[in-house]
Amino acid sequence: MSVRARLSGFGGYLPKNVVTNAELAERIDTSDEWIRTRTGIAQRHIAGEGETAVSMASAAARQALDYAGVPATGIDAVIVATATPDQSFPAVAARVQAELGITGGFAFDLSAACSGFVYALSTAEAFIRSGQARKALVIGSEVYSRILDWEDRATCVLFGDGAGAVVLERCEDEAEAGILSTHLHSDGRHGDLLFVGGEDATRPVLHMQGREVFRHAVAKLSSVVDEALERHGLSGQDIAWLVPHQANLRIIEGMARKLALPLERVVVTVDRHANTSAASIPLALNEAVRDGRIKRGELVLLEALGGGLTWGSALFRM
């Protein structure tokens, strides 16, 4: 009997502080119309006092555990995808482990920028398939507000903070449920298109060549989606739901057209969450599962591209 990793729990956390485009326009040279037209974003959540990568990840994880009906002590692995940890070390995952009262198993962070959740999901699935874990928490948690230049209208309007989590469980008796395959890629030659750094070593900030990133996103996401479909002899019409990384509405709409999917079958949160990097896919999943859109037995396709450049897709059946 084949072993698969099934997504059984979903959770999310968004900071209480909501910043609209109009509020940003009071501080920098931009407008609601300028932001909406180019990105589809209307607002974003920004972490406030006491809201950290650890606190948000822990809150999202608790929701996911509750949804799955799994006690924290039953988790063997905690993997957190983040580009904005609270500390260089210990890992956010280790801090989450402590917050949840998990004393066994293992925990570590994974850095693949906006592709981080897909990378972490693939990693956790491998641990479950190999037998090193039976239940895993996979979390994306980001505090991008820490690494933005709030005077650069080309970047600061794009990002938000938040965390999303899923529980993965070893599945042997439901052959059709679970992760069917994941597909990961990277190309370090394009690392300077999207990176965090700068002359001030005490406060590195995000830098992005937006047009070039957009161009690569369209081509690479298209390729990795095709890879997932071809692996299983599927077409876009076989997919019930596309849950893309929430970076830009134009990219999301382009992927929907490629798959011949109406936007009603694409989960979109970028308008309300902005780009929460590794947290964007699990936040969108949590919303769509909890509001009843995504149902058991349906095929769901995930895709993302981020700094590195990194990109990947994952196909699973609920």
pLDDT by residue (tens digit) across 175-206? 678 999 999 999 999 999 999 998 777 889 99
Residue 289's Cβ-count burial label (10 Å; 0-12, 13-18, 19+) is: buried
Residue 10: which domain range? 4-171
Q: Same domain, yes or no, for 276 and 229?
A: yes
Q: Same domain, yes or no, for 255 and 153?
A: no
Of the candidates 183, 194, 202, 213, the residue with the CA atom closest to the CA atom of residue 83:
194
Instruction: Give the domain-ending residue among 171, 192, 224.
Output: 171
> Each residue of 130-140: pLDDT tens digit?
999 999 999 99
> CA 110, CA 97: separation in Å to the nearest integer?
15
Q: Same domain, yes or no, for 47 and 17?
A: yes
Instruction: Give the domain-ending residue among 145, 171, 197.
Output: 171
We report the CATH number of the domain holding residue 247 as 3.40.47.10
pTM: 0.97
> Each residue of 239-269: pLDDT tens digit?
999 999 999 999 999 999 999 999 999 999 9
Active site residues: 114, 245, 275
Q: Same domain, yes or no, for 106 and 205?
A: no
Q: Same domain, yes or no, for 219 and 279?
A: yes
Please, what is the average pLDDT of the chain? 96
Q: Same domain, yes or no, for 109 and 200?
A: no
Q: Same domain, yes or no, for 192 and 167?
A: no
Q: Same domain, yes or no, for 142 and 243?
A: no
Q: Same domain, yes or no, for 185 and 165?
A: no
Q: Same domain, yes or no, for 40 and 62?
A: yes
Instruction: Give the domain-ending residue among 120, 138, 171.
Output: 171
Q: Same domain, yes or no, for 112 and 142?
A: yes
